[in-house]
């Protein structure tokens, strides 16, 4: 069974390995709770591009977690 601590550690490591723009997007979305339109404004990109960067980051995190045998519910 996967512990919450192992899941959090893997996510933290995965986030640290993301490209800077992806890290910023994840932080703005989940820590600051900004919309994709607001994130786009911060990054100087469109709302659509902000969503794409977010999606790419989540895909990278999922792959990392799967490689470690961790899956999110």
Residue 73 has pLDDT above 70, yes or no: no
Q: Is 39 in contact with 28 (CB distance < 8 Å)?
A: yes
pLDDT band at 69 (very low <50, low <70, confident <90, very high): confident
Output the 3-class SS for 8-68. Answer: HHHHHHHHHHCCHHHHHHHHHHHCCCCCHHHHHHHHCCCHHHHHHHHHHHHHHHHHHHHHC
* Distance between CA atoms of residues 68 and 6, nearest Å: 10
Closest CA relative to residue 21, chosen from 52, 61, 53: 53
Instruction: Give the pLDDT confidence of 35-56 residue by residue, as tens digits.
Output: 999 999 999 999 999 999 999 9
């Amino acid at each position: 069974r996967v512990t919450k601590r192992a899941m959090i550690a893997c996510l933290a490591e995965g986030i640290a390995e993301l490209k800077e723009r992806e890290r910023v997007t994840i932080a703005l979305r989940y820590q600051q709770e900004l919309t994709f339109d607001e994130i786009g404004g911060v990054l100087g990109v469109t709302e659509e591009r902000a969503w794409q960067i977010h999606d790419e980051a989540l895909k990278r995190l999922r792959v990392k977690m799967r490689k470690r045998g961790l899956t999110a519910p």
